[in-house]
Amino acid sequence: MNVTVVERGLLEFQFSQLRNLPLIHGMSGHNNSAPAEGDIAYSSISDPTDTTANRRAFFAELGLNLESLTLGRQVHGNTVHAVVASDRGRGQPPSFDGFPDTDGLITAAPDITLGVITGDCVPIVLYDPRKHVLAVIHAGWRGTVSLIAKRAVEAMKAGYQCRPRTILAGIGPSICPSCYEVGDEVVDAWMASGIPDARRAVLSRDGSQYFDLWTANRYALMAAGVQRRNIEDSAICTRCESHAFFSRRAAVAGDSRKGSQMMVAQLTQRS
């Protein structure tokens, strides 16, 4: 007897507060039954044919066109780029002509899917329902301590007349403080960021230091004027949940396959 097994897709996470709004968003994850276990990055790790298949499957699942995907060339920096209609599709093969040195993207244009690729770093989605403006950010520790989240809000304010207090923010699945032991260079850079109460995002245990990327990015958003109640924390750790997500640290420890996932978001027409 044949039993049809319906495999789950690549969509692994969505923010509750961003559902039922005029945007489509979601984050892919790790899936044993997908090609290259769902790896969605073009790199030396996976066959590009598998990466393309995974991107197509993930976009189809969300009802998005892969041709709309627009990316930056992420460098763990704090540059946020404005994206207009004519940029649609930048960063895709074969040219990989994404915005240079860019870890955050903002747009008011429909039909553009903003994406960031992560493997433990923090994906952040910002949406202003009043101005219908969207941003997607990749915040590793370097981006976090150089306050890319705050810079993105400031860019939405300066370029799109957004009011920070109306912006909805989501801090997506990424490495948790318990899994993220760091050295002095990380702690020192964070403590120099000028964020009030910065110390609260650094934890000490058995002589080691751990950086709380979730709290740090929340503080950065709040420093830009985003309301605490408008920030949704996924509180999902990619390292603890490495069956569901790719985790750089899990891969380095030999506990999982190397690979990456993607957070995407796109504005839709307002009714």
The C-alpha atoms of residue 158 and residue 147 are separated, in whole angstroms, by: 16
| Minimum distance, C-beta of residue 201 to Zn ion, in the bound complex (Å) | 15
Residues in 237-256 at the binding interface with Zn ion, rule: CB under 5 A: 237, 239-240
- Does residue 203 bind Zn ion (CB under 5 A)? no
For Zn ion, the closer of residues 171 and 237 by Cβ is: 237
For Zn ion, the closer of residues 53 and 240 by Cβ is: 240
For Zn ion, the closer of residues 106 and 182 by Cβ is: 182
* Strands 168-171 vs 122-128: parallel, antiparallel or unpaired: antiparallel
| Minimum distance, C-beta of residue 237 to Zn ion, in the bound complex (Å) | 3
- Does residue 176 bind Zn ion (CB under 5 A)? yes
Instruction: Supply the Cα-derived Rg of the chain in whole angstroms.
Output: 18
Strands (E), the chain: 11-13, 23-28, 69-71, 80-83, 104-107, 113-118, 122-128, 133-139, 168-171, 181-182, 202-205, 208-211, 231-233, 261-267
Residues in 177-196 at the binding interface with Zn ion, rule: CB under 5 A: 179
Residue range at the interface with Zn ion (CB under 5 A); choices 116-124, 154-162, 173-181, 244-252 = 173-181
For Zn ion, the closer of residues 127 and 214 by Cβ is: 214
* Strands 261-267 vs 113-118: parallel, antiparallel or unpaired: antiparallel
For Zn ion, the closer of residues 112 and 213 by Cβ is: 213
Token pair of 156, please?
Answer: 């939405």
| Minimum distance, C-beta of residue 120 to Zn ion, in the bound complex (Å) | 9
For Zn ion, the closer of residues 127 and 245 by Cβ is: 245
| Minimum distance, C-beta of residue 199 to Zn ion, in the bound complex (Å) | 21
Q: Is 210 helix (H, G, I), strand (E, B) or coil?
A: strand
| Minimum distance, C-beta of residue 240 to Zn ion, in the bound complex (Å) | 3
Whose CA is closest to 169, among 10, 1, 25, 33? 25
Residues at the interface with Zn ion (CB under 5 A)? 176, 179, 237, 239-240
